[in-house]
Structure 1
Amino acid sequence: MRERFAANGDALPQVLARLAGRPELRETVFLSTCNRVEVFANAAARGGVKQALLAIREVLAAYASVSPSEISQYLYEKHGEDAVRHIFRVTASLDSMVLGEPQILGQVKDAYEAALAAGTLGHLLGRCVHRAFTVAKRVRSETALGAGLVSISSVAVDLARRIFGDLADHTVLLVGAGEMAEAAAKSLGRGGRPIRIVNRTFATGEALAKEFGGTCSPWSALEDELRMADVVVTSTGANTFVVTADMVKRAMRARKGRTLFFIDIAVPRNVDPAVHGLDNVYVFNVDDLEQQVAEGLKSRQKEVSVAERIVNAELTEYVSWARGLDVQPAVVALRAKTRAVLLGELERTLSGRLKHLGEGDRAALEQMMESAVNKLLHAPTTRLKAGAANGTEGEHVNAIKHLFDLPEPPRTSDPPEIAGPFGSGAGSVAEKDDDERLPH
């Protein structure tokens, strides 16, 4: 089921376009990895969270050609602070199958860039994901969560070593030359028998092979390479099986019964499951690696509590900032009304009894009025912002609007871009390096 929802390459802009076409959603990010498919979203004020979640379900179901009811049992939904915490934990690899693996940060960054390019990212969700990058950076630098086996690729290589012992006496074939294949090559090291690579784009495969002292063959030579390999690690982005049962049957006849192991870390899978049923052929996929992952998890578990404290601290900072967005319109309206009243009175006085004053004196009086506005409104502004930090901003804003008869902000069919996620307009949601641009 997860494979049906995977969206990479050309499919990703199509999914983002479908999500952007729904009026219930103001901002969206689509994340697709080997172990998860997620939508981060900021709901439109009209309809709120409930309608936004329904819209996401409908888009996902249509994309995968299934009914919304068919996928219900596979979905989890979070909103408000829970959604923000989830995004922080995902990006920091606290929710990964391999705890502490580094690939997820790059995958979230790719999803962020894709949403930015598609125009589906705004200020609120953009700031949230950007903050998640800061969380991941802190977890990586302030904890030892990434120690030991920290990727699906490294776990796959460790499994191969457990099966064969020293891989220096066995031939390892990488099918695919992307990020996962590179991670596997790094885990294999540069010693022993040279790594063999088959890749659709020969130049890419050849570059990776040279980096690790291996050899690359064209895609058409895949079946020939299977006859020579002992361990095959597949990680291509293909949407269909690239290794079929018939292909392996022919290769096994030429191998004269020598055992062949496939470690399929691609989603969708690269190896036809029927291959596992052939004599002396064994196939492990992403889900099969969970037991290996559990063993490596024990040594890093003590670091989780430190990482969770980082997540909670950053969550508090983000929530305070986001709630402050609800306060800002009231602060602006209060200052505008106060300034208009005081400056109106000043203008009337300067055109009457004080009309004899020169330009210098008039400018001094205007400056005095501006200073008076700032001093008069300093305490209310500070209290409103403090209310946003502790979650009482709603009652304070309503009181200010009532006491000072402030106008409501203009309503349009498309709500203003900056809106807090924890009031009625909040959606279900999940910081690149500080020098990178925030979306507006």
Structure 2
Amino acid sequence: MGNGPGFVDVGALIRGARNAARLTQKALGALCGYSASAISRIESNQMRLDYSVAVRLAGVLGIPLDRLTHSSVPDARQIATVTIWPSDEEDAVRRRELLTGALAAGATAVMGAGPAAAATPDVQAAGLDDVLFHLPAAEPMAPARLAEQAAAARHAFRAARYTDLGHALPGLLATAEATREVSSGLARQQASGVLARAYVLAAELASKQHSDAAWVAADRALSAARASNMPVVIGEASRVLAITMRRSGQCSSAVHLLTREAADLDAGKHRTGAVRTTLLLTAAYSAATGGDRSTALGLLDQAQEDVERLPEVPGLFTVEATRAQVDIYRIGVHNALGTPDEGVKVAVAVDISQMATAERKARAWTDTARMWHALGNGPQTFAALRHVEREAPQEVRRPALRALTSSLLYGPARVQGVREFAIRTGALVA
């Protein structure tokens, strides 16, 4: 960037607004759906803002959008013509409202939540950091009882009851660890399988909240899975580790891990074939996130062939291998590739109501909301967000969903009902 008369130091502008709101880089990243390191690069002008990132940061920090877009978007003049806020007075009011929300949300992220916020899922994910390094004391448990506890935790995840899951995980992890330590032979392998799946759930929960605990949980999940010698469990653990890698920007490494593990699974058997399909889907999305269109679409087509050849397999641990799941991943892949228009036909045809779990339905509606938002369709974006709330009220409080809600609330077009929705879901404090 140059230093001419119109020069705006975007990094300094964002840093100043963040400090004024008393937000750490980690807290701001959580509100916007980014890592602390990404915020650091933005503030030091080492990472160029694209328009969608600018919208999120402007919404959370109360910075007029044109202050960011004039310096961060190549065709800023065209964008500015559709992002001018209605009036100076309304601009000030909306920014004050947003700053209030950012301050409250930031305080929660930095210092922890009070009693009223204790039921939100982000509190539970934040607590995983301590839990993973200091598991509570626990006694070994009979294998059948341990399997029941793991099944209950899995049910909480699939139902998108993340608070219940956050409460259950410390005891489950500790008990599974203790049980494995006193077991040997086949019993030890079985306990390792339960432990791996408990860590898979921990990684899933932490990933949803953009918590660094996801790295620790995913690594332990794969280690325990390999000790179990169960191909399905190894595949499940590989998937969450790859998701963590992708979120840190290691997209090509994630694709390599996933395709390698998929190649080791028997495509002809129902359960291993189904897990293989989920690995291919996650690899497709990881490739798309890294900008590799041909690999992403090729992996999607491969997964599609798998589900058409084999019967649908319900009851996988966290993700179903079904035709609808492939369709939803196709929408997400096109979102990541920057071609959301190519996902519209798929989104119109897929029946999300037929998906097996509340968590997967909510994720499907989230990808649909992102598609419509990228296409500039506010009413359709909001309709999809309302579906997320109906399917899984805790899902819509995730940082990424709150950021999407903020973008809709403080975007150029008004959508009726968004402000009330933002207050209800924690994106805005009344």
**TM-score normalised to the size of structure 1?**
0.32
- Whose radius of gyration is greater, 1 or 2? 1
Q: Which structure carries more helix by proportion? A: 2
Q: Which structure carries more strand by proportion? A: 1
